[in-house]
Chains A and B, each alone.
Chain A
Amino acid sequence: MTSPTTEEIVARCEALFDDLTFSHAREWKAAKEGRKVIGHLPIYVPRELIHAAGMLPLGIMGGGDNLEVIHGDAYYQSYICRIPRSTIELGLSGRLDFVDGMLFPSICDVIRNLSGMWKTLFPDVYVKYFDTPQTYVDDIGGQFYIGEMRELLHDLEKISGHEITDDDIRASIEVYNENRRLIGELYRLRAAKPWQAPASESYLVMRAGLLVPVEEHNQILRDYVAAAAATPRPIKDNARVVLTGMFCEQPPLNLIKSLELAGCYVVDDDFILVARWLMGDVPTEGDPVENLSKAFLHNSMETAAKYEPVLADKGKFLVRAVRESGAEGVIFASTSFCDPALLDRPMLQNVLKEAGIPHIAFKYAENSGQMQPIREQAGTFVDSIKLWSAA
């Protein structure tokens, strides 16, 4: 069997991304009696536990710019972001009717309240607001988190009708460790040779991971990294940037493409954080739930939805991302009306200012259509970076 080309892989991922009826997950479920699907919203849930229950975690990231929102708008005022209304649309239009449960992570008040709305609108579906600790001491936040995970496991056992053993969880951690390693490779390739693995492609490859079983995603990642590294592409005189603020409501694919057209190599980002949240391998020996907790507490990504307990560490993750990816600037792209991202931004901008890292900021919505202003702004930013580095 010949290995698939980058075009083939990207086309497959794009088809998955475009399919708002989630046929792949439906087919997976239908293939075997008793299979269950658990949906989750951004940003983080321990997918290992769902996997250990033999279920498919399905990442739901709103409706993008292709979904016609008919009912969803009746549930939200104009001054609330788009993702909850398009998610409601997905639910009310029956697109999620095969989903057996929904997890709403503790990311912000909008997603939090959406968990209660889901309970009210879909009383027959298992709904859980998945609370995570914002304090990072094992004995305090860790104990709480372990308690929450055990509660989730208990619920999943009820839904699946069978026990979930520690060995099941260990095996799942192993598969997700592999996923994390492969994603690490993808991001390293992007940072080293962004022309070989453009952000718009890598984004689709990452999104696919929310829609297919992790084993399948691992293969997609392997294939993509191999193919992308092997096919030489022309090098452009682009500026290398880190993109941040896109951890929840997703940008239209066109937005990422527009940034590339404007001369950006996006060498790091905060897309699909669920897959990159835990950094490095989670140990498999010992108590697996405790290991997940420790990884969450001590070795996980920073983002606006998280509390930073140490003032001196605030925003340092961004400086680190810039240094490690060799970026020359940062683009803050935040969802309109997103309190976490927009309130965090000035603090992060101050940190960047101090570190002498150039940056720009703009807002978007998942259904933004007009890319011209963003392209112009990014183009000017690229030019100024070039001038700056030439000086």
Chain B
Amino acid sequence: MRPTAAKPAKQEVIKDASMLKQKEMINAHYERLTNAPETGEKVASTFVPGNLNELLMCFDLVNNLPEVNAIQNGLRRKSGAYIMEAERAGHSEDVCTYVKSDIGMMLKGNIGPNGKPLPKPDVLLLSYTGCFTFLKWFELLREQYKCPTIFLQTPYMADGKITPNMIQYMVKQLKEDVIPTLEQVSGVKFDIDRLREYLKKSAQAEDDLVAVLQSAKNKPSPIDAYFGGIYYIGPIFGAFRGTDDAIDYYRFLREEVEERMRKGLGPVTPDGTMKEEKYRLVVEGPPNYTNFRQFWKMFYDEGATVVASSYTKVGGTYDFGFRHNPDKPLESLAEYCLNVYTNRSLPMRIDMLVNYINEYEADGLLINSIKSCNSFSAGQLLIMREVEKRTGKPAAFIESDLVDPRYFSAANIKNRLESYFQMVEQKRSGRGKAA
């Protein structure tokens, strides 16, 4: 049924200055990508978790991230049609919708967010971290593009530690396979000092990112570490880690956040600065992108700020101290890949969420379970129980999908959230009485 009411006037979306800056950076990157056939620049497709941006830059390769394209298509409400297109072409309704959004986009001409066709990759860098689906995803792309495909396996951190065997394996893959093949594809000789230079820049931006994320310990938090957090991680998880642009962006962002903190302001939402911080939450799981604003609004309308989230650690867990290290360039790339959130064992994920709740003085945990993402979702119900048990704070479970609009049920999610906030209230008043 079509709604008959007149369309509401488009509301102005409030963006902070850092968001505008980021938008410029991303637009410029997409221009660079779509102009590659004219400029002759070579393109590498690769994934966000465990991406080796600094290494790709050593070979003058432009980084194309299919996951980010899927997110862009989700935000622009194009992913639904792309997913259906992939399903028409024989893909199962059961599998990861990022993959299907990407394949559907390819089937429909591979038009990027700037309206221009994305170039064919010259190489697929399958850095396989934290999720087995990546492996199939690039096998599927390789079938289409028939371009060289480089594989880098990151062992799983099942026992909560990185062993020397893991590091040796990764460094060997980098030295004996990844780097020589990148040299071949790009025609550029590898220069380890160039890599060191980029890594030094990465570490600088990483420091500022951590300061921004940890500002949420403040009350009220000056940031939203999930909905806003997604913007904050954009450049560093994407094509900008190791660049001067990233250094500038994160310095700027940090100043902006510190300024808000000084003024005692809450996070900026699409409807302006959040007034009162009523609830502080930790969120596990990716967001929904097809109804991103509507989803976020359900939180800020209720005065709920997310103070820490696991999703903002899928491209690296910098808040535990890891920094890219120019003195140990290849080892540090390996360590980076090993550390990404979904490459951490379930007990590590539980510990992390428990610590966030304690350190950020949160009211509880909220899990957004993504229908088509086994990597995140398998085990989340146990995570929920354990975190509740260990913190004594209430947890709630909602379900949606990253980019498949068919699985976003606004009414259901809203209901769940409302009862969750009530639960938090009850818990508080219960505690109040006891005290």
Binding site for B on A (CB under 8 A): 74-77, 79-80, 84, 106-110, 112-117, 119-121, 128-129, 131, 133-135, 137, 139-141, 143-144, 147-148, 151, 304-305, 307-309, 311, 314, 334, 336-340, 342-347, 349-350, 363
Contacts and interface: CB of A to CB of B under 8 A. Distances in A.
A129 B91 contact: no
Contact of A77 (B91, B94, B350, B381): B381
Contacts of B139: 307-308, 314, 344, 347
Contacts of B163: 147, 151
Contacts of A339: 94-96, 132-133, 136, 374
Given A133-B153, A151-B165, A344-B136, A120 B158 contact: no
B168 interface: yes
A347 B132 CA distance: 16
Contacts of B169: 133, 140-141, 143-144, 147
B65 interface: no
A307 B139 CA distance: 8
Interface stretch (B104-112, B141-149, B203-211): B141-149
B378 A307 contact: no
Nearest to B371: A79
Contacts of B128: 134, 307
Shortest 8 CB-CB contacts between residues of A and residues of B? A116-B346, A129-B158, A147-B165, A144-B169, A343-B136, A342-B92, A113-B379, A109-B375
Nearest to B148: A311
Given A135-B151, A343-B137, A117 B346 contact: yes
Interface string B339-350: 000000111111
A342 B94 contact: yes
Contact of B156 (A112, A137, A345): A112
Interface string B116-147: 00000000001010011101110110110010
A111 B137 CA distance: 19
A107 B375 CA distance: 12
Nearest to B100: A343
A75 B381 contact: yes
A143 B378 contact: no
Majority secondary structure of chain A interface residues (helix, strand, loop or mixed): helix
Nearest to B344: A116
A119, A139, A350 interface centre (most CB from chain B within 10 Å): A119
Given A109-B378, A140-B176, 19 more contacts: A76-B381, A77-B381, A80-B378, A84-B378, A107-B132, A109-B131, A109-B132, A117-B346, A129-B159, A129-B345, A135-B153, A137-B177, A151-B163, A305-B132, A314-B143, A339-B95, A339-B136, A342-B94, A343-B137
B76 interface: no
Interface of B: 89-92, 94-96, 99, 126, 128, 131-133, 135-137, 139-140, 142-143, 146, 149, 151, 153, 155-156, 158-159, 163, 165-166, 168-169, 172-173, 176-177, 345-350, 369, 371-372, 374-375, 377-382, 386, 399
B72 to A, nearest CB: 22
Contacts of B372: 79
Contacts of A344: 136, 139
A131 B151 contact: no
A128 B381 CA distance: 21
A81 to B, nearest CB: 9
Nearest to A342: B92
Contact of B94 (A79, A106, A117, A140): A79
Contact of B382 (A109, A121, A131, A311): A121
B153 A343 contact: no
B104 to A, nearest CB: 13
13 contacts: A77-B381, A80-B378, A110-B374, A117-B346, A129-B159, A134-B151, A135-B173, A135-B177, A139-B172, A339-B136, A342-B94, A343-B96, A343-B133
A309 B138 CA distance: 11
Contact of B347 (A119, A349, A363): A119
Contacts of A116: 158, 345-349, 379
Contacts of B399: 77
A190 B155 CA distance: 38
A131 B156 contact: yes
B135 A307 contact: yes
A76 B377 CA distance: 9
Contacts of A113: 346, 374-375, 378-379
A345 B92 contact: yes
B374 A75 contact: no
Given A121-B382, A343-B133, A108 B374 contact: yes
Contacts of A80: 374, 377-378
Contacts of B374: 80, 108-110, 113, 337, 339
Contacts of A342: 91-92, 94-95
B428 to A, nearest CB: 27
